Structure formats: C-alpha cells, structure tokens
Chains A and B, each alone.
Chain A
Amino acid sequence: MTDVGRARLLYGSALALGVVLLFFIYGKHFNDLSESRLVLLSFVWFFPVVFGVYGLVGQATVKRREAPPAPASTEGPEKAATAAVVGGAVGAIIIRVIFRRMPPIISLGLLLVLGLFMLPLFLIKKGSALRIATVGTAMWIPLLVAFLVFVFPSL
C-alpha cells in the first residue's frame, strides 16, 4: 500500500466511524435520549467526522500542490478565467438558493461554517494532510463548545 493509500485508509476509517456513530445516535436512538445527552454525544461523532473529512480534503489539496505545473499553453489564462467565472456563478447560485430556502440566521450560519471549514486549508500552505486534519480537528473543539453553549440554546 502506498503512503497516500495508508493515509486514505486512516481518514476513511475515522470518517466511517463518525458516520456510523452519527446514524446510531440520531437515526436509531434519537427518541431514546435526552436533549442534554444528545448534545453531549455530539462530541462523540463530531471529531472522527471532522478528522476524516479534513484528512481527505487535505490530501486532495496537498496532491494539487505537489502536482507538477502544467505546461505553458496559450489556452491557460482563458481556461483559468472560464473556471473562475463558472465557479463564481455556481457559488453565487448556491448561496442564493440557501438564502431563499432557509431563514437568514441559518443561511449565515452555514456560510460561516463553510468559511471556518476552509480556514485550515488556506492557512496551512506547507504542511502535510495529517497536519491539516489535526489542526482542523483541534480548531473545531472550541468552536463546537462555543456553538453548544452560546448558539444552540437560543435556536
């Protein structure tokens, strides 16, 4: 197994564990558990999921970083411009749909979560995927606590 394959196995295992726990708690036993217990148990499934997702996304980011630069081509700038326009348009449509479908507080919350999720990927320019996964998971510990203590009770 290659080193990349080994890492994928680790991140995939963590993600699978988190997803199984998530479905077991909220899918199978949602009505059997108190609200306070459900809140506490969010720590159980959340971190394997976050670690797995950051690991896999971090791998893709690192692989793109390590990929040899594309050969010079006259189509390069046009392709990049087209990709930026298409990406921007798709992003704008997604944001528009989110804001039309959901109350503003939830829409803003989703965008905030998305922005926070991207933070480690932007900030860690030279680190490995494992570092991205570790830093990303560590970053979400205080964020999850803050959400459950300050935001969740008011929803």
Chain B
Amino acid sequence: MSTHSILETAQAPQSQAGISSTALGVGLVVVALYAIGASVAVHQALTYSAHFDLKREALTELNGQPALEVEVTLKALPTSLWGDKSPKLGINSVSGPPYVWNDLTWEQLELPEPAAGATYQIRAPITGELAERLRLDGAVKWSLSWGEARLRQHPLSK
C-alpha cells in the first residue's frame, strides 16, 4: 500500500452508515445468542402443543342440521394451563371479517373427564349464523384447545 493510500485510509472519516469491528463482533454474538434463545422458545412451544392426535374429521348432518364430527386422542395432559382451563372446541367461519365462531366447552359437548391416552368422539352441531356461513363458504375451520395444547386444522369442507 502506498504512503498516499495509507494516509487516505487513516484520514477517511468513518461513515455513520457503518460500524466498527468490535461493534460487529458484539452484534453477531447477540444475534447468535438470540437465535439460541428463539430456538429454545419455539422448541418449548412445540413440545407443549403436541398433545392431540387426530383420528378422523368430517362435516355431517345431525337432526337435519350441519354438524362437525371429530375423533381425537388426547396423548398427554397439558403441562401448562395458560389459556383454556379445560378442553374447548372452537368452530370458525372461513370467510371474514367479520368472522363467526362458536366455542363449545367439554361439558357442553357432554364428554367424559379428559384423561391421557383416551380417545373422544366429538359431535358438535353447527347452528345459526355459522351454519349460514358454512352454506355460503362450503367449509369451516375448527380447533381443539386446552391450555397450551392445540389441534388446529385447515378449512374442512363437506
């Protein structure tokens, strides 16, 4: 490197668009630590959520009105009940906003006490505005949730 270019480099003002080597090192360490922390958080979230095993799902009719039928095994009880205190079936309209939904508790579904390893056959009528949306959309979404545990499905059509 010539004397001229050395002087030029030394005298060149650092752009405010840049950072020093030290700042880069510190920044990359922070990014790496953040990546580790984020991986742990996502892994933990997935572990909590793997509680249901879906056996069957169908849209049928019950006493002349549409109904959702779901057969599911509860593989394990949720370790955290942040959220719903007992299992809950939610049925949502596909179209929106405004979305229409109907939440049914375990008691409303008249199901036995939830237990690890047990399989449940759920039959839930779809009534009112949600039934009208089902007629228009040809599909609904449903989800089964209990605390952190969640089984969520893509739109289900007849």
Interchain CB contact under 8 A, A33 and B17: no
Per-position contact with B for A24-54: 1 when CB-CB < 8 Å, else 0?
Answer: 1100011111111100110011001000000
How many Å lie between the Cα of A19 and that of B136 in the bound state? 36
Binds B, one of A59-67, A84-92, A145-153: A59-67
Contact among B15, B34, B45 for A33, CB-based, below 8 A: B45
Kindly provide the distance from the CB of A104 to the nearest chain B CB, expressed in whole angstroms.
11
Contacts of B143 in A (CB 8 A): 35
How many Å lie between the Cα of A103 and that of B99 in the bound state? 13
Interchain CB contact under 8 A, A21 and B42: yes
**A155 proximal to B (CB < 8 A):** yes
Contacts of B41 in A (CB 8 A): 41, 44
Contact among A3, A33, A66 for B49, CB-based, below 8 A: A33
Across the two chains, which residue of chain A brings its CB closest to B145?
A: A34
Contact size class for B?
A: 20 to 34
Contacts of B62 in A (CB 8 A): none
Interchain CB contact under 8 A, B17 and A128: yes
Interchain CB contact under 8 A, A130 and B42: no
User: Interface residues of B: mostly helix, strand, loop or mixed?
Assistant: mixed
Contacts of B27 in A (CB 8 A): 10, 13-14
**A95 proximal to B (CB < 8 A):** no
Interchain CB contact under 8 A, B19 and A33: no
How many Å lie between the Cα of A103 and that of B150 in the bound state? 30
Contacts of B154 in A (CB 8 A): 31
Kindly provide the distance from the CB of B55 to the nearest chain A CB, expressed in whole angstroms.
16
Contacts of B23 in A (CB 8 A): 6, 10, 130
Across the two chains, which residue of chain B brings its CB closest to A21?
A: B38
Interchain CB contact under 8 A, A14 and B83: no
**B111 proximal to A (CB < 8 A):** no
Across the two chains, which residue of chain B brings its CB closest to A65?
A: B16
Contacts of A60 in B (CB 8 A): 17
Per-position contact with B for A65-96: 1 when CB-CB < 8 Å, else 0?
Answer: 11000000000000000000000000000000
Residues of A whose CB lies within 8 Å of any CB of B are: 2-7, 9-10, 13-14, 17, 21, 24-25, 29-37, 40-41, 44-45, 48, 58-60, 62-63, 65-66, 103, 105, 127-130, 155
Q: A13-B31, A34-B145 are in contact. List 7 more A-B contacts (CB 8 A).
A: A4-B15, A6-B23, A13-B28, A36-B83, A45-B38, A59-B17, A129-B17
Residues of B whose CB lies within 8 Å of any CB of A are: 14-21, 23-24, 27-28, 31, 34-35, 38, 41-42, 45-46, 48-50, 82-83, 97, 143, 145, 148-150, 152-154
Closest 7 CB pairs of A and B: A3-B18, A34-B150, A128-B16, A4-B18, A62-B17, A10-B27, A6-B24
